[in-house]
Amino acid sequence: MNVTIDPNSGFCFGVVYAIEIAERELAKCDNLYCLGDIVHNNMEVKRLKDMGLIIIEHEELDLLHDCKVLIRAHGEPPETYRIAMKNNLELIDASCPIVLNLQNEIRYGFEEMQETGGQIVIYGKEGHAEVNGLRGQTLGKAIVIGSKDDLEKIDFKRPVHLYAQTTKSVSGFQEITETIRQRMEAVTPGGKIDFRWNDTICRQVSNRSGKLQEFAGKFEVVVFVSGKKSSNGMILYKVCKDVNPRTHLVSGMEDLRSDWFSGIGNVGICGATSTPMWLMEEVAAEIRTINV
């Protein structure tokens, strides 16, 4: 049985950057806290925990004093920095530069919307760590839209400035953008609408969809490796599944089933932007040991 790992899968730049910073800090300090899972992959989180990384929830941050806290790639709202100053915490900021740039854009956009009575709208997943950080730039006033079902949150008679979570799909953003434009024009017949949109989706992430479609179509069976918490992973898994119905989602080699590979000559292994290459290699090695 031939088993091939997708060379385009694995960590995106932002996750690589955050993990490198964590490893460097762990090599020189006894205690390093991290706000939430550094990456949405249980196996990689366990590896870093074994090195000494301590995962905490946001409500625990105010209980810490005089220590180091890592900010993961998703970024954080301003409140996190205020607590750090109050409690003498040294923040090790591993925020993805693309996310930091988006936070700045939204903050400036919010200031403009305050003057015009407009609304900041974010196309993203409610409660997602990145989205929480983005909303924080607007004093929590930004409207989060996960799908067209959420559009009733918007007042289409008022100005709208639309942004997107960096890991959302381009096609989904385009659909939301067009629908908002149509709804605004419908309530302003013959008038000029005040609607601006910023396509702030990370192309390193979004471009993977096309590459994965091509990859998944080459194999009899595809094994997609991803943590269940990864929204990016669930999106990319569906991309593969739509192309190749014999695509299976696993968190690690313990989820593999030998009957998936009965009579199969070639298998493809791929994963999310939060899936480490070492984990895909581990899964591939286990598949090669299956005798069917």
Backbone angles phi, psi at 102, to 5 degrees: -65, -40
Q: What's the domain count of the chain?
A: 3
The dihedral through the CA atoms of 209, 214, 217, 222 has a sign that is: negative
pLDDT score, position 181: 95
* 105 shares its domain with 181: yes
pLDDT score, position 204: 75
Domain containing 41 — which CATH number?
A: 3.40.50.11270
Among 61, 96, 131, residue at a domain's last position? 96
**Residues in a beta bridge with 5:** 269
Q: Mean pLDDT per 10-residue run, the chain (292 residues)? A: 93 90 91 91 91 94 95 94 96 94 96 94 94 96 96 96 92 94 91 92 83 95 91 88 96 94 95 92 94 65
* 176 shares its domain with 241: no
* CB-side neighbour CA atoms (13 Å) of 215: 27
Residue 36, domain extent: 13-96
**What residues are annotated to the active site?**
130
Over the Cα atoms of the chain, what is R_g? 21
* 92 shares its domain with 103: no
* 197 shares its domain with 212: no
Closest CA to 13 of 5, 2, 21: 21
Residue 168 — left, alpha, or beta (φ > 0 → left; ψ -120 to 50 → alpha)?
Answer: beta
Q: Which two tokens stand for residue 224?
A: 């997609």
pLDDT score, position 203: 84
| Alpha carbons 274 and 226: distance in angstroms, whole number | 7
- Strand 119-123 to 143-145 pairing: parallel
pLDDT score, position 292: 60
Helix axis angle, 97-116 to 13-26, nearest 10°:
120
* 30 shares its domain with 78: yes
Among 81, 96, 111, residue at a domain's last position? 96
* 178 shares its domain with 103: yes
Closest CA to 265 of 221, 224, 232, 233: 221
Q: Which two tokens stand for residue 155?
A: 């007042």
* 66 shares its domain with 102: no
Burial 147-185 (b: 16+ CB within 10 A, else e): eeeeeeebebeebbbbbbbbbbbeebbeebbeebbebbe
Among 40, 65, 96, residue at a domain's last position? 96
* 266 shares its domain with 284: yes
Domain containing 272 — which CATH number?
A: 3.40.1010.20
3-state helix/strand/coil string of the chain: CEEEECCCCCCCHHHHHHHHHHHHHHCCCCCEEEECCCCCCHHHHHHHHHCCEEEECHHHHCCCCCCEEEECCCCCCHHHHHHHHHCCCEEEECCCHHHHHHHHHHHHHHHHHHHHCCEEEEECCCCCHHHHHHHHCCCCCCEEECCHHHHHHCCCCCCEEEEECCCCCHHHHHHHHHHHHHHHHHCCCCCCCCEEECCCCCHHHHCHHHHHHHHHCCCCEEEEECCCCCHHHHHHHHHHHHHCCCEEEECCHHHCCHHHHCCCCEEEEEECCCCCHHHHHHHHHHHHCCCC
| Alpha carbons 269 and 5: distance in angstroms, whole number | 5
pLDDT score, position 158: 95
